[in-house]
Structure 1
């Protein structure tokens, strides 16, 4: 199956809204400038992530743009704009989140983020105090990475179609690369273990389907809450993402970079 690259995204700050690009450089850490900064909780030492929505969902009301870790601009829900670094930024984020935090590009090597159990979220609601687990960062990424698991996340329009969700829902799944296809299935599942050529030079190796948490159901800026963004994957694409894990609702796929270079909207995408 071949496709075309139709969207390129980067998220300079973990769990904040990001920005669409026409092209980007891709290397072993993923899209240049992607997830180079994160909010660190002073009290717990954990990385702020909307995977625990009861505590961190407000992060998805902040838009981060620019080439992290420098020249990043944060637009808060009230419209105020802060540059990074900025002496007043930590205080503004702490007020927004209701707890003392620091925006940083360096977190402790053993830092964890909290992930709420997605089935409990579906059963009890986004605001419920549901069980959480502490997950390490970047298990398949270079040391010091702030990504959840792997440097790149792909989502196809085929998966959105299979979920009967509009294309406007794509940002809910926080992809780096969106691939347009002419089929209607969870084709990313079939890419696991294969390599993809994107444009003339970038080669990715697909590692695993992407397990979904509560994040797609949350409000993303102007996008309202949408519980079907998790309920439908739970019904239609519950698969085992990695050996040793239970079956989970999945949308998209994680990948590592075999050969870096530039990617641009319109590039051909094909398994090799």
Structure 2
């Protein structure tokens, strides 16, 4: 039995981890995820990657979300974009001044993955609209949650419908097949200011109260392919 659970509304890729991403009309997807997604990160002298939190692998570096990143030619070396929307000439030099640290550099992924968890994140408009309704005074869009895919779900779809997909496969686009594994455990990064979105502790608090701090659905890639805005997603 198969079900069309939605249509791809937006595709997001984040060339440099923890910075603002780029919206795409289509994306090649391989076993690692969207090609080029989080392939680069800000790395400090201890080998930790810049993030919104401190963990064994990550170092909190405030301000990264005010920066952007993109692949000007679709692949290759990414551009780092300053808070005014301008590409910087030397990303490492800029980051050292911007962050006030002389031990950071822009680094390509090596043996240690830049992903927090799994390579693909899918969020539905049903869940996003629920969050907007819960905290109407806080500007909310998918950028707070950094999905790769924002899926437009049919009217009447309940929030957190993504939970029902655990363990199932879905197909879309040019032969792309993914398997849904689990939802993401969210952190303070959802609260942080970025570009035109202000800081608000209500974002994480709302998710924690209603859904045990979890949001979206993470997936692994079963068969590589192409995802496109407007493609239907069929659940097997």
Q: Same fold (TM over 0.5)?
A: yes
Change (3 A) 1:190 1:79: closer
Q: Distance in 1 between matches of 2:114 and 2:59?
A: 21
Q: Distance in 1 between matches of 2:132 and 2:180?
A: 24
TM-score by length of structure 2 reads 0.87
Whether contact under 8 Å (1:217, 1:228) holds in the other structure is yes
Alignment of 1:118-133 (within 5 A): none
Q: What is the aligned counterpart of 2:105 among 102, 107, 120? A: 102
Q: Distance in 1 between matches of 2:86 and 2:122?
A: 31
Q: Higher relative CO (CA 8 A, sep ≥ 6), structure 1 or 2?
A: 2
Q: Distance in 2 between matches of 1:214 and 1:232?
A: 12
User: Aligned residue for 1:31?
Assistant: 34
Asked if residue 258 in structure 1 is aligned to residue 226 in structure 2, the reply is: no
User: Aligned residue for 2:147?
Assistant: 175
Asked if residue 51 in structure 1 is aligned to residue 53 in structure 2, the reply is: yes
User: Aligned residue for 1:73?
Assistant: 79
Q: What is the aligned counterpart of 2:188 among 214, 225, 230? A: 214
Whether contact under 8 Å (2:132, 2:140) holds in the other structure is no
Q: Distance in 1 between matches of 2:158 and 2:109?
A: 41
Asked if residue 192 in structure 1 is aligned to residue 166 in structure 2, the reply is: yes
Q: What is the aligned counterpart of 1:92 among 87, 91, 94? A: 94
Asked if residue 230 in structure 1 is aligned to residue 199 in structure 2, the reply is: no
CA offset at residue 79 of structure 1?
4.8
Asked if residue 150 in structure 1 is aligned to residue 150 in structure 2, the reply is: no
Any stretches of 5+ residues in structure 2 without a counterpart?
none
Q: What is the aligned counterpart of 2:6 among 3, 25, 49? A: 3
Say which is worse superposed, 14-23 or 195-204, in terms of deviation.
195-204
TM-score by length of structure 1 reads 0.76
The Cα offsets for residues 183-216 of structure 1, whole Å up to 9 and x where unpaired, read as 1220111111111112351111011111100111
User: Aligned residue for 1:137?
Assistant: none
Q: What is the aligned counterpart of 2:67 among 46, 58, 62? A: 62
